[in-house]
Amino acid sequence: MAKHKTPLLDQLESGPWPSFVSDLKQEAAKRAKNEKGLELQIPKDVVEDLLGVLELSYKHGKTHWKHGGIVGVFGYGGGVIGRYCDQPTMFPGVAHFHTVRVAQPAGKFYSTEHLRKLCNLWDFRGSGITNMHGSTGDIILIGTTTPQLEEIFFEMSHNMNQDLGGSGSNLRTPADCIGQARCEYACYDTQDLCHTLTLEYQDELHRPAFPYKFKFKFDGCPNCCVASIARSDMSFIGTWKDDIRIDAEAVKAYVGGEIKPNGGAHAGRDWGKFDIQKEVVALCPTGCMKYENNKLTINNRECTRCMHCINAMPRALRIGKETGCSILVGAKAPILDGAQMGSLLVPFVEVNKDDGYQAIKDVVEGIWDWWMEEGKNRERLGELIKRQGFQKMLEAVGIDPVPQHVKEPRSNPYIFWKEEEVEGGWTRDIDAFRKDHMR
C-alpha cells in the first residue's frame, strides 16, 4: 500500500512510453523490502515521499522544492547541490534531498563493477535514484541528507578512484564523445584530451571563481555527437586539413548496391536503389562533389566538413590524414533567453599529446583571463562576446583575425580605426593642412 495516494502520477503510467513513475514505485518497493538487509542511512520511505511531493506539486501547479545552500564537501565549492522540500512535515523523507554530481569517466566508459559499486553506495547512503548522463552529462545521484555527503565523498575518492563533478560558477564536468576508442571518424583522441584537461583544471572544477558556469565539450568529428557546438562555452570539434580519402572501388560497390549506405542504418523500409547523385552529391551543402563517368571527385577546398557524404558511404570516404580540431566559443542552451551556437575561434589546431596539449591550454587560459576580468556576474562567455564584440575577444586572447571568423558580409559600412592603427594618429599639423585647403 503506497504511503501517499498519487492519482495524477498514476495517470502518467498509462501512456505508451516507459514511465519514471513506474521506476520510482519499483524503487520504493525495493527499499521497503530491503532484501539485502542494508542499514539504510536515509529514511526508508524517501522515494514514497518523493512521489508524494510530486503529486502535491501537480495538484498545486507549483513546485515544493527549494534549491541552493551551503552543503558541500570540504574544500569543494561544487559537486553537491542543496535541495530542500518546503513541506518537510508532510514529507519528512525528502526534507533534505541533496543532489550529488559525479564526474563521468571520459567517453562514459566504465565497468559494470564500477557502476555496481556506485549503485550500492547510493542504495546505502542515498535514495537509490540516479539520473545517468542527463543534460549535464555526468552521473547524477538524486537525494541524500547532509551528514551523508562527506561519507559518500570519502568512499568515492578513497576506494573508487572517483571524483565529484562540477556545479555552480565552476568549470563543469567536461564531456566528450567515445572518440577513437570506437569511432573511425574521430580526428583526435577526445578521451585523452578530455581527461587531461579535467586533471589539469581541478582548481577551476572544484573552486568557483568564474562569473558563471563554463562548459568544455569534445567532439571527435563534425558529427558533434555530444553537441558541443550548441551546448558548451568552449567546443573542440575534430577536423582535418587535407583531402577526404576516396576509395574508388568502394564507391562502385555502394553504387552497385553491394554495400549498404549509411552503415546499414535506416533499414526499416525499402528506400529503393541507392542513388549516389540524389542521396550524396546533390545534398552536399557547398556543391563540391561530382559523380561523372562512374567517378566521384571532391573539390576539397570548398568542403565545409558537413560529414554527410562520409556518413552515407563510410567505407568509400574517410576523413583526411592531417587531423586536429577547431575551437569554437560562446555557445549556450538556456531555456529562457534562447540558445546560441558557438562561434569559430581557432579554425585548426594540432591536438598534440606530446607537449601536453599546450596550444589548446594557451587558448583556454587566454579566454578565461578575459572572461574572469570582464564578465559580469552570471554572464556566460557567449553573452560577453555579444556585449563587447568578437573583435574585443580576439584582442584579449591575442589571436589575429582570419577570414574564417567572418560569419557574413558586414552590414555596417564604416571601419572604426584605432588611433595606433592610423599613421600620425588623430593629431594633424593644421598649417600643413591649410596649404592645400583654404578656410
Partner 1 sequence: MDQAEAQEKIVTALKAKLKSKSKFYFNDLSGILDMKPREAKKFINKMVEDGILEYWSSGSTSMYGLPGTGKQAGAEHEEK
| Residue 330 sits in the site that holds partner 1 (CB under 8 A) | no
For 77-129, the DSSP string reads SSSEE-EEES-TTT-GGGSB--EEEEPPPGGG---HHHHHHHHHHHHHHS-SE
Nearer to partner 1 (CB atom), residue 130 or residue 343: 130
Q: Return the amino acid letter for 261.
A: P
Region near partner 1 per CB under 8 A, out of 108-116, 230-238, 366-374, 431-439: 366-374
CB atoms within 10 A of CB 355: 10
Rounded least distance, CB 303 to partner 1, Å: 39
Residue 410 φ then ψ, to 5°: -70, 150
Nearer to partner 1 (CB atom), residue 150 or residue 302: 150
| Residue 340 sits in the site that holds partner 1 (CB under 8 A) | no
Between CA 301 and CA 288 the distance in angstroms is: 8
Rounded least distance, CB 82 to partner 1, Å: 7
Rounded least distance, CB 141 to partner 1, Å: 14
CA-wise closest residue to 277 among 312, 249, 307: 312
Task: Kindly compute the dihedral angle of the four CA atoms of residues 202, 207, 212, 218, in this order, to the nearest 10 degrees.
Answer: 10
| Contacting partner 1 within 164-193 (CB under 8 A) | 167-170
Rounded least distance, CB 311 to partner 1, Å: 35
Between CA 185 and CA 314 the distance in angstroms is: 9
Nearer to partner 1 (CB atom), residue 377 or residue 427: 377
Q: Can you tell me which residue has the cell 587531461?
A: 196
Class of residue 149 by CB neighbours under 10 A (exposed 0-12, middle 13-18, buried 19+): buried
Rounded least distance, CB 90 to partner 1, Å: 17
In this structure, what DSSP letter does residue 375 have? P
Rounded least distance, CB 285 to partner 1, Å: 36
In this structure, what DSSP letter does residue 359 have? H
| Residue 377 sits in the site that holds partner 1 (CB under 8 A) | yes
Between CA 379 and CA 193 the distance in angstroms is: 27
Cell of 26: 519499483
Task: Give the count of residues interacting with partner 1 (CB under 8 A).
Answer: 35
| Contacting partner 1 within 392-421 (CB under 8 A) | none
Rounded least distance, CB 204 to partner 1, Å: 9
Cell of 40: 539504510
Nearer to partner 1 (CB atom), residue 139 or residue 280: 139
Rounded least distance, CB 130 to partner 1, Å: 17
Rounded least distance, CB 379 to partner 1, Å: 10
Nearer to partner 1 (CB atom), residue 203 or residue 242: 203
Among 2, 3, 82, 388, binds partner 1 (CB under 8 A): 82
Q: Return the amino acid letter for 399.
A: I
CA-wise closest residue to 273 among 285, 264, 261, 262: 261
CA-wise closest residue to 368 among 189, 215, 237, 163: 215
Nearer to partner 1 (CB atom), residue 150 or residue 242: 150
Helix axes 358-374, 381-388, angle to 10 degrees: 70
Count Cα neighbours of 263 within 13 Å in the Cβ-side half-sphere: 9
| Contacting partner 1 within 344-363 (CB under 8 A) | none
Region near partner 1 per CB under 8 A, out of 49-57, 149-157, 205-213, 317-325: 205-213
Q: Can you tell me which residue has the cell 520510482?
A: 24
Cell of 208: 568557483
Region near partner 1 per CB under 8 A, out of 5-13, 153-161, 208-216, 391-399: 208-216
| Contacting partner 1 within 92-111 (CB under 8 A) | 96, 99
DSSP-derived 3-state class of residue 171: strand
| Residue 373 sits in the site that holds partner 1 (CB under 8 A) | yes
Q: Are 93 and 80 in contact (CB under 8 A)?
A: no
The contact mask relative to partner 1 for 50-79 (x = CB under 8 A, - = no) is -----------------xxxxxx--xxxx-
| Residue 91 sits in the site that holds partner 1 (CB under 8 A) | no
User: Where does this chain bind partner 1 (CB under 8 A)?
Assistant: 67-72, 75-78, 80-82, 84, 96, 99, 146, 167-170, 203, 207-213, 369, 372-373, 376-378
